[in-house]
Amino acid sequence: MPLCLLITASQLRPSEQGLGTHQQLGLPPCSSRIIFGIRCPACGMTTSWSHFTHGHWWQSVQANVGGFLLAIVACMVVLVSAACFINPRLDVMRYQKSAAITGLAIALITLCDWLVRLYR
């Protein structure tokens, strides 16, 4: 699944506004921006992934820090999946706690980034 997301993001042109790239997939604009006039925590996530896959890492961070971090994790998951395919005896379950902590940390960073953007 992460490989499919990375491939899809690589086929999109990052929005110059820093958000809205997801609309190239036929998805509607962010409801939070329409209803409340503010970005949601996920605004810029697809743009961030698109920048990431094009090697524009600083622009990826600027679009959404959480998106940049999730794209890194997605690449790591692809590599670990490939390693498991090559060596089925690999014990990846011992990293389950680290993966959960990483996910929570990224969620917290995404929320902090969102709050900073709201008050800028």
Would you state the pLDDT for residue 75?
A: 96
Would you state the pLDDT for residue 49?
A: 97
Give the pLDDT band (50/70/90) at residue 76.
Answer: very high
Cα separation, 5 vs 50, in Å, equals 10
Render pLDDT for 19-59 as a digit per residue (tens, 0 to 9). 899 999 999 998 988 999 888 999 999 999 999 999 999 99
DSSP 74: H
Ordered alpha helix ranges (H), the chain = 2-10, 31-35, 45-53, 57-63, 65-86, 96-118
Would you state the pLDDT for residue 103?
A: 94
Q: pTM of this prediction?
A: 0.90
Residue with tokens 């042109």: 13
